[in-house]
Amino acid sequence: MTHPIPIRRVHHVELIVGNARLVSFFCRKALGLDLVAYRGPETGNPGSASYALARGDLRLVITSPLTHEDPRVIFLALHGDSVKDVAFEVEDLDGVCEVLEKRGATFVQRPCAVSDSHGTVRIASIKAFGDTVHSFVARGGYDGPFLPGFESRKRPGYDSGLTGLDHFTVNVEGRQLDRWVEYYENILGFHTQETWEGKDVQTDRTALHSQIVTSPDQRIRIAINEPAVASRRSQVQEFLDYHMTAGVQHLALTTGDIVKTATAMKENGLEFLPVPEGYYDRISALAGQCHLDRDTLERLNILVDHDDKGCLLQAWTRPVTDRPTLFLELIERRGAETFGGTSFKTLFEAIEVEQARRGNL
Ligand code: FE2
C-alpha cells in the first residue's frame, strides 16, 4: 500500500465563475456562508476578483478572471462555472512535493511563496482530473484573514447550519474510473472504501459505475463516477457533454441538522431534487427507526439510509449552474460512515428523471 501524503484537511475549494460577485452573494444568501476575505483590483490584484467564504470547516473561493488574457477565461468557456481547485493543507510542502514528484504527479505550479504583511504561505499545485488541480497549501504561521493578497471583508451569511465538507463527487470519462482511482491510491495514498456497479446504479435505460476513495483518516472522501454502457445516455455522459472534460459534479456539505438546513435553503430559494414517487412509502419503517417524521422528510426531499454505525440523511439540489453540471448535497451523518446503498440508487433515478426533463436522455 502506498504511504499516504500527510494531508491535514481540505484547505479550500475554488470555483471559477463568470461573475464572482453574484455567486458569492448566492453563497451568502442561499447557502449561508460568511464572506471573510476579498482579493481584486481594489486590493492591488487587477486581473481577477476572488471572494473567500467560510462556515465551520467549509471554505469556498469564488473567482472570476477580469481580462481576456487570463487562461481561466478558456476554462470558463469550456466548462462554465466549475470547480478548478480542491486544495489540501499540509505542513511540510517540500517533503510532500518530493514524494509527489517521485510518484509521477504532474506539477502545474512548483512550490512557491506568497506573502503579505501577515506572513508567508507556500503553495504548489498538481494536475488532477480534467482541468482541475489539487493545490497543497502550507500556512506556516500565516495569520491573515485567508491567504496572502486577500483583505478582510466580513459580511455574515444567513445561517443555515452548514458545518463543513463531507465529500465531493467527480465525473470522469468512460473507462477512466480505474485510472483515477489509481491516481488517488498511487499519488496520494488513499484507499477504496466502496464500489458501486450493476443494479444499484442502473435503470433499464442508463447506468454508471462508481467508487469511493478516502484518505486514511476518512477526512477526505471522493466519489468517482464513470458512464456505463446502456441503451440511453448515462447521466455522467450528460455532465461530460456539457462540461467537456471530467470535473466536480457535486460538493456534499455537512450539517448537524439537515431539517433546519434544508428548510433554510428552501426558504432562500434553492430547489431540491424531487424524490421518485413511492420512495417515502418504501422507507417509512426506516424513517421511524431513525426517529424521523416521514412528512418532514417528504416536504424537504430528504433521503434516509443507514449502515451498521447509524443513520444517514441526504438531500440534493437541482444544478446550481445553468449547465446541468454542478449541484450541492446536504448530508447529516448520525453515525453512518458509508454512502448508503438505497439513497445512492434513488439519487441516480432522480437525476435520470431530471435528465429526461432536459431532453438529454
Ligand atoms: Fe454525494
Q: How far apart are CA 136 and CA 177, in angstroms?
A: 24
How far, in Å, from the CA of 333 to the mean position of ligand 1? 12
Task: Please report which confidence band the pLDDT of residue 77 belongs to, taking 50, 70 and 90 as the band edges.
Answer: very high
CA of 303 to the centre of ligand 1 (A): 12
Tens digit of each residue's pLDDT (9 = 90 or more) over 213-251: 999 998 999 999 999 888 788 889 999 999 999 999 999
What is the rounded average pLDDT of the residues 157-169? 95
Q: How far is the CA of 132 from the centre of ligand 1 (A)?
A: 18
345 CA from centroid of ligand 1 (Å): 12
Contact in structure between 122 and 152 (CB atoms under 8 Å): no
Nine-digit cell string for 199: 443494479
Ligand 1 centroid, distance to 169 Cα (angstroms): 6
**Is a pLDDT exceeding 80 seen at residue 200?**
no
Q: How distant, in Å, are the alpha carbons of 104, 111, 124, 136 from that of 101?
A: 5, 12, 12, 13
Q: Which residues contact 356 (CB under 8 A, 6 or more apart)?
A: none
Closest C-alpha among 36, 81, 82, 43 to residue 58: 36
CA 153 to centroid of ligand 1, rounded, Å: 31
124 C-alpha to center of ligand 1: Å? 27
Q: How confident is the model at residue 327 (pLDDT cuts 50, 70, 90)?
A: very high
Residue 199 pLDDT > 80, yes or no?
Answer: no
Give the rounded percent of residues in the chain with a pLDDT score beyond 90: 81
- Structure confidence at residue 361 as a pLDDT band (50, 70, 90): confident
pLDDT beyond 80 at 155: yes
* pLDDT band of 352, cuts 50, 70, 90: confident
Beta-bridged to residue 126, according to DSSP, are 107, 134
**Comparison of pLDDT for 84 and 337, the residue scoring more:** 84
Residue 342 has pLDDT above 90, yes or no: no
- CA angle 239-262-88, nearest 5°? 55
Record the pTM: 0.96
Q: Would you say the C-alpha torsion 187, 192, 198, 199 has a positive or negative sign?
A: negative
Q: What is the mean pLDDT of residues 58-71?
A: 97
Give the 3-state secondary structure of residue 42: helix
Is 320:326 a contact under the CB 8 Å cutoff? yes
Reading the block at residue 332, the C-alpha cell is 447529516
Instruction: Report all structural domains of the chain as residue ranges with CATH numbers, in order of start.
Output: 9-155 (3.10.180.10), 162-357 (3.10.180.10)
pLDDT in tens, 276-319: 889 999 988 888 888 889 999 999 999 999 888 999 999 999 99
Confidence bin at 203 (pLDDT 50/70/90): confident
How distant, in Å, are the alpha carbons of 67, 116, 206, 355 from that of 78? 17, 33, 25, 21
194 - beta bridge partners? 212
Cα 94 to ligand 1 centroid, rounded to whole Å: 32
For residue 7, report the distance from its CA to the centre of ligand 1, in Å.
21
Distance 33 CA to ligand 1 centre (A): 20
pLDDT tens track for 5-38: 999 999 999 999 999 999 999 999 999 999 999 9
| pLDDT at 215 (0 to 100) | 95
What separation in Å is there between the alpha carbon of 250 and the centre of ligand 1? Answer: 7
CA of 283 to the centre of ligand 1 (A): 19
Measure 329 CA to ligand 1 centroid, in angstroms.
6
- Cα of 252 to ligand 1 centre, how many Å? 5
Ligand 1: centre distance to CA 148 (Å)? 32
Residue 128, C-alpha cell as written in the block: 488532477
Average confidence score pLDDT of the chain: 94
How far, in Å, is the centroid of ligand 1 from the Cα of 253?
9
What does the pLDDT read at residue 208? 84
Centroid of ligand 1 to alpha carbon of 349 (angstroms): 14
Write out pLDDT tens, residues 82-136: 999 999 999 999 999 999 999 999 999 999 999 999 999 999 999 999 999 999 9
